[in-house]
Amino acid sequence: MDPYIVMLAGFGAIVLLTAWLPMVLKELPLSLPIFCVAAGALLAGLFDQAQAPSPQAHLKLTERLTEAVVIVALMGAGLKLDRPLAWATAGLTWRLLGVAMPLTIVAIALLAHGLLGVGLAAALLLGAALSPTDPVLASDVQVGPPGQGGEDEVRFTLTAEAGLNDGLAFPFVYLAILLATVSPADASWLDWVTLDLGWRLAAGIAVGVAVGRGLGWLTFRLPNRSKLSRTGDGFVALGITAIAYSLAEMAHGYGFLAVFVSAVAFRGFERRHHYHEKLHDFVEQIERLLMMMLLVLFGGALAEGGLLRHTDWAMVGFAALTLLVVRPLVAWISLLGRKEPTPERAIIAFFGIRGIGSVYYIAFALGRAPFEGADLLWNAVSLVILVSITLHGTTVTPIMRFIDKRRGR
């Protein structure tokens, strides 16, 4: 049979399942990512004569595919936020970013060095790659579509955190790349501080604000006859995403950060306009489709055995401690002193979902520097993602129902 015809049929099935599965799984203690990974593993078993996908062997392709789904998810996350992302309105988020995230990087790096025996550069790369929560797989714990209401503290905090921390992990990925190429004594620390930590962050934020505000003005402030929001075209969101990301990268800034900031700035320009709903709905559909395709490939790679072949008790302990101890503990510490109810702070601390963004960072770094034990790094990240998908996917429905009951919804 023609492989093209088989692939076409598979693509059609994925498109239909993208639309239908969320409705079927909504009342079950299962998530769409769990189904996708299981489907990929099953397909790999059924068609064992085919070569299973290998992210290690296709670093650039893996980087670009994961990059695409992450930036689309970041645009969707930014458009969702009804509440302004300000210092006074996002106190929990700033604590997670400013306190929990650096502590997470250090704790995971220490675990990687102690349990997995990797060197400083590889340990730091694992810490940086596994520190951000994932905007792609965290949709079940995020706020709803624009203007829907009911934006509770848990959902708002987890959405804003996932939108911002992907960009904030980048300086430490660059630091790991630097340490993989030169010794700490020979490293140009001033260049890292001024360029990777300073300029790239500032440029990402500046480009995001400029693109979001500028395109917001064009969309909502032009004279009535030519008001661009009247088009009703949802794919405009993809244009905003691509422009923000590419301009930030041209300016040597962090494109992930620019995309989320541009979405927040664009939404804030005319916060209550109904056009945001169309933009968000289109982005969400594209995001789900890309996510399903990538997770099916991920499931196939897991079933083939290459990604998890170095799994032992030390690796299992690393994954368990990363998800069940490091994230909950450091997030809880960062939220001490806040007035929010204890159950809500505990839920925020628990849902440190890891996913597609971590794969992107590993592919990005391995394509730019020679890290020791590359297969070990892929194994660790893949196992953490698999455990996260299973753990958080099976608990998200009852836990979020508990939050809604507490709030009378």
Which residue would you say has higher pLDDT here, 150 or 392?
392
Mean pLDDT of 93-120: 94
Q: Encode burial over 177-201: b for 16+ CB neighbours within 10 A, e otherwise.
A: bbbbeeeeeeeeeeebeeebbeebb
- Whole-model pTM: value is 0.91
Does 226 have pLDDT greater than 60?
no
Q: Which pLDDT band holds residue 114 (cuts at 50, 70, 90)?
A: very high
Mean pLDDT of 349-372: 92
Q: What is the C-alpha to C-alpha distance for residues 15 and 292, in angstroms, rounded to an integer?
A: 9
The pLDDT, as a whole number, for residue 401 is 83
The pLDDT, as a whole number, for residue 102 is 95
Does 27 have pLDDT greater than 90?
no
Our count of domains for the chain comes to 1
The pLDDT, as a whole number, for residue 303 is 83
Residue-averaged pLDDT of the chain: 86
Q: What is the pLDDT of residues 291-312, one digit of tens each?
A: 888 988 898 888 876 788 888 9
The pLDDT, as a whole number, for residue 88 is 75
Mean pLDDT of 33-54: 73
Residue with tokens 């923000």: 244
The pLDDT, as a whole number, for residue 2 is 64
Q: Which pLDDT band holds residue 15 (cuts at 50, 70, 90)?
A: confident
Look up the CATH number of the domain holding residue 188.
1.20.1530.20
Q: Of 312, 213, 310, 318, whose CA–CA distance to 258 is shortest?
A: 213
Q: What is the pLDDT of residues 135-148, one digit of tens each?
A: 887 777 877 778 77
Q: Which pLDDT band holds residue 228 (cuts at 50, 70, 90)?
A: low
Does 51 have pLDDT greater than 90?
no
The pLDDT, as a whole number, for residue 277 is 87
Tokens of 323: 């998800």
Task: Find the domain containing 317 and state its range.
Answer: 3-406
Q: What is the C-alpha to C-alpha distance for residues 50 and 342, in angstroms, rounded to an integer?
A: 50
Q: Of 51, 126, 187, 183, whose CA–CA distance to 374 is shortest?
A: 126
Residue with tokens 């015809």: 5
Which of 14-23, 271-280, 328-337 reaches the highest mean pLDDT?
A: 328-337
The pLDDT, as a whole number, for residue 263 is 94
The pLDDT, as a whole number, for residue 382 is 94
Task: Say how many residues make up the chain.
Answer: 409
The pLDDT, as a whole number, for residue 170 is 93
Q: What is the pLDDT of residues 244-263, one digit of tens each?
A: 999 999 999 999 999 999 99
* Angle at alpha carbon of residue 303, lines to 302 and 307, rounded to 5°: 30
The pLDDT, as a whole number, for residue 183 is 79
Q: What is the C-alpha to C-alpha distance for residues 358 and 172, in angstroms, rounded to an integer?
A: 13
